[in-house]
Chains A and B, each alone.
Chain A
Amino acid sequence: MKVKVGIGMLLWAILITVSHIQLNLGWSALRKEVAIMTGEQREELVIGFLPVT
């Protein structure tokens, strides 16, 4: 019984985590954040502007 409850909780936690990534975070964002945490440089783009119009 304990094993079944444990597996159920584990599956539930995985389901919630996957849903959170899918709905709120995005897989590409997660991949990028993991890459940055493991030492990769964050991609950067500098955009210029003139206060003209």
Chain B
Amino acid sequence: MTKHSDEGSLFSSKKFTDWPTVKEALISKEIGGVFILAPLAMQLVADGVPIKVVYLGHRDGTGIVVGKDSPINDFGDLRGKVIAIPSRYANQNILMHKMMDEWGMPYDSIDLRELPPPEHPIALQTGSIDGYIVGEPFAAKAEVDGFGKVLYHTKDIWPEFISCVMVVRQDLIDERRELVQEMIDGIAKSGKWLDEDMQHRMDAAEVTAKHYYFQSPELLKHVLSKPEDRVKYTNLAPLQEDFDEIMELAFKIGVLSRRVAFKEYADDSFVRPLDQLDWGMDRLPREGGGQ
């Protein structure tokens, strides 16, 4: 497997387990960028961290999950229930409040509890929560293992839902613009490749299950195909109207300490038309060059 991009630059990933460490790593320039929750990116900018949202990680790919045999059949049935969210800074938290607004429910009508996403399925299975809202593959996990059902996919209740965004340090944008462009082009090309052919998605499930997610390939194949538009990897430009809506809701429910203008935290100048970008491969490279 090649260790560098087609253009010769080396991109590597670093896993974090908590948000304060991510913030410190950005400030100390240990990392150049990070995939983080959209409202958290806004709050970091509100706190004075010099970063910009330059692209999205994906669209949709979040579900509200409840027990398979539970009597919960619509959002109104969640009144009085305990529902896990990934973080108060997650757009999933904003969505729950948006839905409560739409259903005329007061914000304390659902007990929202922060829980690390990998713990959501087991918490539902053991009965310590009544449901959860989370990004994939943890929503599909309960479905595939047979103890949960997806009450709503975000594509049906907040189409083109934004969860994770790509943020980059401002000094990199100013001083190493070509490198940032190369990275964004790479994300865009891989997204286009994923969305243009189901076979590509199945191939990606095989490779990422083994090398990145450490999940069963069958679980990832389920996420990427049932239904096909459960998660999307195109339309990843940061659009002001989407972010304004998230920012206003986040400020309204107290997640943001102040309103943040789009231009303060976003830079959409790296977005290029997808027809100018192509990966030109049928299958992903494997370790050792095998297929």
Contacts and interface: CB of A to CB of B under 8 A. Distances in A.
Contact of A52 (B13, B32, B33, B87): B87
B103 interface: no
B35 A36 contact: no
Contacts of A42: 4, 8-10
B8 A29 contact: yes
Contacts of B163: 53
Given A50-B16, A53-B135, A45 B7 contact: no
Nearest to A36: B8
Contacts of B22: 48, 50
Contact of B34 (A26, A29, A32, A48): A48
A52 B137 CA distance: 10
A10 B286 CA distance: 37
Contacts of B117: 51-53
Binding site secondary structure of chain B? mixed
Binding site secondary structure of chain A? mixed
A53 B57 CA distance: 10
A27 to B, nearest CB: 10
A32 B135 contact: no
A50 B118 CA distance: 11
B32 A46 contact: yes
- Max chain A C-beta neighbours (<10 A), residue from B7, B13, B22: B7
Size class of the contact patch on chain B: 35 or more
Nearest to A48: B34
A9 to B, nearest CB: 30
B4 A47 contact: no
Interface string B246-265: 00000000000000000000
Contacts of B37: 52-53
A13 B112 CA distance: 68
A43 B37 CA distance: 27
A33 to B, nearest CB: 5
B7 A50 contact: no
Interface in A1-37: 26, 28-29, 32-33, 36
Contacts of A53: 37, 61-62, 86, 90, 92, 117, 134-135, 163-164
A48 B25 contact: yes
Given A26-B7, A52-B117, A44 B12 contact: yes
Contacts of A32: 7-9
Nearest to A35: B8
Interface of B: 4, 6-19, 22, 25-26, 30-37, 61-62, 86-87, 90, 92, 116-118, 134-135, 163-164, 166, 172, 176, 179-180, 183
Given A45-B33, A53-B61, 9 more contacts: A43-B8, A43-B9, A45-B183, A47-B12, A47-B31, A48-B35, A50-B19, A52-B117, A53-B92
27 contacts: A28-B7, A29-B6, A32-B9, A42-B10, A43-B8, A43-B10, A45-B9, A45-B11, A46-B13, A46-B14, A46-B32, A47-B32, A47-B166, A48-B13, A48-B16, A48-B33, A48-B35, A49-B13, A50-B17, A50-B35, A51-B117, A52-B117, A52-B135, A53-B37, A53-B61, A53-B86, A53-B134
